[in-house]
Structure 1
């Protein structure tokens, strides 16, 4: 093996370890002494990458060395399928990059609930876990559904051998476009540990792309077909349920 080849492999392994580590940090959510999420419509978002159907933007966040990101995609799946995925507390393992454990807990409901998740990290990185408060709302007239995800680390005791991430905010917005759905994902995280801002910011674009591509595939699986949105008399989203055969 030549020295240049060994150095190249070492660089690839390092990048993989950091990508997997940062996946957890960006897809987990919380809000402790952070600035509010940036407005998804503000003018200073900078386009970083674009695939066939996904665009990733970043913007500097006041008081933080870590940037916020915005991912915009038109997913080839109806909004009912996507919401069927989202209400499944174990679906994190299906589409969130490197999520290894996930389940709901507590006495929550469709509109306000809690979930616990774990991301399995390659040695020597310590596994991360997080506790999310997930709030969901939707309006029949606009057709939009919005989910706010915020870490609430004190809602569950910490586990030995795992590092809890407790500073991040996330917003998912789903907008129906016929049998497809526009998804907007805005997130800002101050990750735990001594991770350099330049490295975190350089990988912001990889994580949402991988996750959104997986979400599109998962939403087309048979178990997520045949669902419908339930609206109350005021036109507010009341739930997601399996349609009658």
Structure 2
């Protein structure tokens, strides 16, 4: 019964995420990676969705993602990342990001819920929990994160990877930075992740 409730909750979260951003427009299609953007009602920041196919298996991609500290090297503008807590399919992570001067660096705390599909897929729901830790000196806490990772096996040793996120970065962020970040973040993250996955 508990498993069913958890599954329903996760499906509900997926539905909410999808509802936030319904009209996806292609912003970049390069090197086998497609990046789509969508307006989000009530927000001045766009949601992004990056999709690519990687020549790797689910186990390899899961290992890359579950190495929380190590994954910082392929996440766009990640400065430092650590695991705070893990309970079965749930985990809590803390991340610090680089930002160009004069923008104050950001940090975020995420609650990650993992779901295994009957088809061998893996979905990770990303939810910002900004009050989980006290704010750190010299950093502006990201106030909202709503997103997911989805890994879907496609056969022939390939996996389709989707990375979708909408954030409220907190504080003041110049429009030029916000507009470049929503394209660069999914593109660079997926490209760097793919390079590492396909070398294994």
TM-score exceeds 0.5: yes
Question: What 5-or-longer segments of structure 1 have no aligned partner?
Answer: 1-34, 223-245
Pairing 1:210–2:198 present: no
2:78, 2:96 within 8 Å by CA — same for their partners in 1? yes
Q: What is the correspondence of 1:193-208 to structure 2 with a 5 Å cutoff?
A: 193-197=171-175, 200-208=178-186
The corresponding residue for 2:79 is 100
Q: Which of residues 161, 175, 179 is equivalent to 1:183? A: 161
The corresponding residue for 2:24 is 45
Pairing 1:157–2:134 present: yes
The corresponding residue for 2:41 is 62
Q: 1:41 to 1:176 in 2, by over 3 A?
A: farther
Q: What is the correspondence of 1:1-245 to structure 2 with a 5 Å cutoff?
A: 36-38=16-18, 42=22, 44-106=23-85, 108-139=86-117, 141-178=118-155, 179-197=157-175, 200-222=178-200
1:118, 1:128 within 8 Å by CA — same for their partners in 2? yes
Higher Cα Rg, which structure: 1
CA-based RMSD of the aligned residues comes to 2.3
Query: Equivalent residue of 1:153, what SS?
Result: coil
- Post-superposition, which runs of at least 4 consecutive aligned residues in structure 1 deviate over 4 A? 39-42, 196-199
Deviation of 1:110 (Å): 3.9
After superposition, the C-alpha distances for 1:131-151 in whole angstroms (9 at most, x for unaligned) are: 111110112x32211001111
Q: Counting strand residues as a fraction of each chain, which structure ranks higher?
A: 2
Question: What 5-or-longer segments of structure 2 have no aligned partner?
Answer: 1-14
Measure the CA separation in 1 of the matches of 2:49 and 2:42. Answer: 18
After superposition, the C-alpha distances for 1:158-212 in whole angstroms (9 at most, x for unaligned) are: 1111111121211111001221110112211122122355752354222211110
Measure the CA separation in 2 of the matches of 1:219 and 1:110. Answer: 24
Taking structure 1 as the reference length, the TM-score comes to: 0.68
Measure the CA separation in 2 of the matches of 1:101 and 1:195. Answer: 21
Taking structure 2 as the reference length, the TM-score comes to: 0.82
Q: 1:47 to 1:100 in 2, by over 3 A?
A: same
After superposition, the C-alpha distances for 1:70-122 in whole angstroms (9 at most, x for unaligned) are: 1111112211100001111213322101212111123x224001111112334
Measure the CA separation in 2 of the matches of 1:176 and 1:40. Answer: 26
Query: Equivalent residue of 2:17, what SS?
Result: coil
The corresponding residue for 1:5 is none
Query: Equivalent residue of 1:205, what SS?
Result: helix
Deviation of 1:47 (Å): 1.1
